[in-house]
Amino acid sequence: MNVVVCVKQVPDPNSTGQLDPATKNLRREGVELVLDPGDEFGIEAGLQLAEAHGGQVTVVSMGPEKALDAIRKALAMGAAKGVLISDDALRGSDALSTAKVLAAAIKREGFDLVITATESTDGYTGTVPQMVAELLGVPAVTFAKGLESDGKSLKVQRQTETGYDRVEATLPAVVSVTASVNEPRYPSLKGIMAAKSKPVDRLTTAELGLDGVGGATAGQTIVSVEPAEERKAGEIIADDGEAAKRIVQFLEATKVI
């Protein structure tokens, strides 16, 4: 089973993100960039399927040169090949542009299954996977918290508001996975060494035959960015054995009990 996993490099989630006030793009300077932790679950899912059913995992990323580091990490975990699409024109891409680029690169590779995370840690539009599926003309089984395959079809436990749905899907398909789907492996030292010599295709949008993608074509423009209204902090007490009484008084005061 040939699996393509979409991976994104994001500012370290432990630092607070910021938009550049001038360009209104995500500020990437001065913050450490990492492989989106959410994508590690997709890589792991792809590796497990390829190990069980043959085939290989290719990781595809759209991002600046530096995103090569994220691809290398995926290769170190065990992916066989990377594809990085970088282009100045792609700066400021919206979800749909991103999806067009990813879908074109995935088509070029060929695939039985495409795996993504449910949402990126920095942008979290959570719509790229569905868009990619539409552009590839295949079903999208999103929010998979469990994923099994016999090599020809998929059995997915898909999160819902009230529990989960069991979904059966034929291949090819797109699946987006949550953090409950597996326990991602750490790259081994051997894996890290091997990653250095694994192939990474570097592509531009022109090489993918795309035009009309990127920041300049976005159908939306950010007009303002403002800090959200903050809640005022209230009373903070140390528990001296009386805190429970205080909580009950508080509940009484709000008339919920």
Ligand X SMILES: Cc1cc2nc3c(=O)[nH]c(=O)nc-3n(C[C@H](O)[C@H](O)[C@H](O)COP(=O)(O)OP(=O)(O)OC[C@H]3O[C@@H](n4cnc5c(N)ncnc54)[C@H](O)[C@@H]3O)c2cc1C
Pick from 61, 149, 178, 205 the residue near ligand AMP by CB under 6 A: 61
Give whichever of 32 and 239 is closer to other proteins, judged by the CB atom. 239
* Window 95 to 114, contacts with ligand AMP (CB under 6 A): 95, 98, 102
Among 61-69, 194-202, 223-231, 242-250, which window interacts with ligand AMP (CB under 6 A)?
61-69
Q: Residue holding tokens 């508080």?
A: 250
128-131 — which CB contacts under 8 Å span 24+ positions? 128/6, 128/95, 128/98, 128/99, 128/102, 129/6, 129/174, 129/176, 130/174, 131/95, 131/96, 131/99, 131/100, 131/103
Which of ligand AMP, other proteins, ligand X, none interacts with 98 (beta carbon under 5 to 8 A by kind)? ligand AMP
Under rule CB under 6 A, residue 68 binds ligand AMP: no
Provide the token pair at 22: 């001038």
Q: Are 102 and 79 in contact (CB under 8 A)?
A: no
136 near 114, Cβ under 8 Å?
Answer: yes
- Name the minimum Å distance from CB 157 to ligand AMP: 19
Residue 244 CB, nearest approach to ligand AMP (Å): 42
Q: Is the peptide bond before 199 cis (omega within 30 degrees of 0)?
A: no
Q: What is the binding site for ligand AMP (CB under 6 A)?
A: 6-8, 36, 38-39, 61-63, 95, 98, 102, 116-117, 119-120, 123-129
